[in-house]
Structure 1
Amino acid sequence: MDSVVILGLRISILALLWVFILVALNAMRRDANAAAAVSATASGVLAQAGEQAPRRRETARQIAIVEGPLQGSHMELGTFEEFILGRANDCDFVTGDDYSSAQHSRLFRRGSQWFIEDLESRNGTFVNGVRIDQPERVEVGMDIKMGRTTLRLVA
């Protein structure tokens, strides 16, 4: 009788092990599919942005709000090297958006290129629909989303 119980326990443990393996494989498959979907979406967004962007690199002359509470607002970039963007009145470019942080992000120039950096905002900064966690290069025509506000560098 003891050998039958031990055999039953061994089979049960083996069955549980297989269930665990199948659950782990299923989770890995879902993660891989989700990552592929995000990658495809990001590629599609970047491809769309590429279609809208000029063929040759143009120099950004201003930043404009294309969507959000202060839509239509813009600011000449001029010779400035750095801007703080956010909802606080002491920011260089105020978004007027309650969903953006007081000091949400920093737009800065390195040579002739512009970069955007999230300043540990609550809702994050997105470039062409992809959340950034380090400084990201932005070009004319690319969308920068902070809260409910979408900004764009304009030639």
Structure 2
Amino acid sequence: MSELALFLVRTGFVVVLWIFIFSIISVIRADLFGQKVISRVASANAPKVVSAPIAPNAPGSLVMEPTGSNATKLVIVEGDRTGHNIALDRRELTIGRAEDSDLIVDDEFASTHHAKLVLINNDWLIQDLNSTNGTFLDGSRVGTPAVVKLNTPVRVGKTVFELRA
């Protein structure tokens, strides 16, 4: 093999090796620090409500399902910390195994930064942070940020919690 061909093969191998190393670093970085996309995605998917005022108890008025907007606490209903309450006194709550999470889930099926609850437009939204095993809202896997209604079960690993007033 000529020296030029050998040089090109070695250089190509080093380039491929560095690309592999940088891809590993980016995956680890994304897992450790998460992604900051909730506000843009949630604003685009936020429900738009236009209605005229209706007199209370008017005939034909609809009874609306309560959303999570008036939720004051998060209650764990299944898992290691069943019965534990967390006050919803801020606009954002992180969930995961990391020590900096607001709700620390000690579970092998939960990711380091698993999910995030965010208060947007008077609704609590749950966002999965690209976790391995997913986040489930009322039995359905969360793909995009979704509104969490009161008393609706949210599953992160083996832990299930609900928002309550």
Q: Deviations over 1:66-106 (max 9, x none)?
A: 1011111111002x111110121110111222211111001
Alignment of 1:124-143 (within 5 A): 124-143=134-153
Which residue in the other structure is 1:62 paired with?
A: 73
Q: Deviations over 1:19-76 (max 9, x none)?
A: xxxxxxxxxxxxxxxxxxxxxxxxxxxxxxxxxxx97526100011110111111110
1:107 CA drift (Å)? 0.3
Distance in 2, matches of 1:55 and 1:105, equals 27
Distance in 2, matches of 1:74 and 1:151, equals 9
**1:82 and 2:88 correspond:** no
Q: Secondary structure at the match of 1:120?
A: coil
Query: What are the ranges of 5 or more consecutive residues in structure 2 without an aligned counterpart?
Result: 1-62
Alignment of 1:3-152 (within 5 A): 57=66, 59-78=70-89, 80-152=90-162
% identical aligned pairs? 34
Answer yes or no: is the 8 Å Cα contact 1:83–1:106 preserved in 2: yes
Q: Secondary structure at the match of 2:110?
A: coil
Amino acid at match of 1:111: N
Taking structure 1 as the reference length, the TM-score comes to 0.61
RMSD (CA atoms) = 1.6
Query: What are the ranges of 5 or more consecutive residues in structure 1 without an aligned counterpart?
Result: 1-53
Answer yes or no: is the 8 Å Cα contact 1:70–1:96 preserved in 2: no
1:130 CA drift (Å)? 0.3
Q: Secondary structure at the match of 2:82?
A: coil
Answer yes or no: is the 8 Å Cα contact 1:86–1:100 preserved in 2: yes
Distance in 1, matches of 2:120 and 2:150, equals 15
- Structure that is richer in helix per residue: 1
Q: Secondary structure at the match of 1:101?
A: coil
Which residue in the other structure is 1:16 paired with?
A: none
